[in-house]
């Protein structure tokens, strides 16, 4: 799994921009079972309890600058992505699953609203409910949980 956070532009109904290319490059650099993140993501999840190991600096074709990458082990990511709830499985509504999938793809609330023909406020409410149901604090945790629980989608 590769994770990066940044702004993307939407043109012709498709996301574009450096952040999307960085995320794809980070994902391509990840080893099987490894959760590889950019330094941006590492900074965003400070205080989450996740521990990272430095995987060095990379230069990606067609992307300006160099990028420091960090990895977290599958067990570490699994623990962070596994909600602690008593009483069984957590169920997201169909719309919450749609929103979670778009969050995992790195879309902003505005982009999700445009894609699903919803107000930005409605998307914000969905994201907050998803975070609450899963016991998470960040969109990165939603993406990691979704990647580990694809069978639920």
Per-position pLDDT tens, the chain of length 153: 455 555 555 566 665 666 667 777 777 777 776 777 777 777 777 766 777 888 888 887 777 778 788 887 655 555 555 554 434 556 788 888 889 989 888 889 999 999 999 898 999 999 999 988 888 888 888 888 887 776 544
Dist CA 51 CA 71 (whole Å): 8
Dist CA 61 CA 105 (whole Å): 21
Q: Hey, what domains does the chain have and what are their CATH numbers?
A: 2-81 (3.30.70.1230), 94-152 (1.10.10.10)
Dist CA 17 CA 132 (whole Å): 30
- List the structure tokens of 1: 């799994």
pLDDT value of position 13: 62
Dist CA 32 CA 126 (whole Å): 31
* Residue entry with tokens 């778009």: 102
- pTM above the 0.75 mark? no
């Amino acid at each position: 799994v590769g994770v990066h956070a940044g702004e993307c532009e939407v043109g012709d109904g498709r996301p574009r921009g450096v952040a999307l290319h960085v995320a794809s490059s980070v994902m391509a650099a990840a080893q099987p079972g490894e959760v590889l993140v950019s330094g941006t993501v590492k900074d965003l999840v400070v205080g989450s309890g996740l521990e990272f190991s430095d995987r060095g600096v990379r230069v990606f074709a067609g992307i300006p600058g160099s990028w420091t990458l960090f990895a977290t082990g599958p067990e570490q990511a699994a623990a962070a992505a596994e909600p602690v709830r008593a009483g069984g499985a957590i169920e997201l509504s169909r719309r919450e699953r749609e929103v979670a999938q778009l969050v995992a793809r790195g879309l902003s609330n505005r982009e999700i609203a445009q894609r699903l023909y919803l107000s930005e406020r409605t998307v914000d409410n969905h994201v907050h409910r998803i975070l609450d149901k899963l016991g998470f604090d960040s969109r990165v945790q939603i993406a990691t949980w979704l990647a580990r629980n694809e069978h639920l989608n």
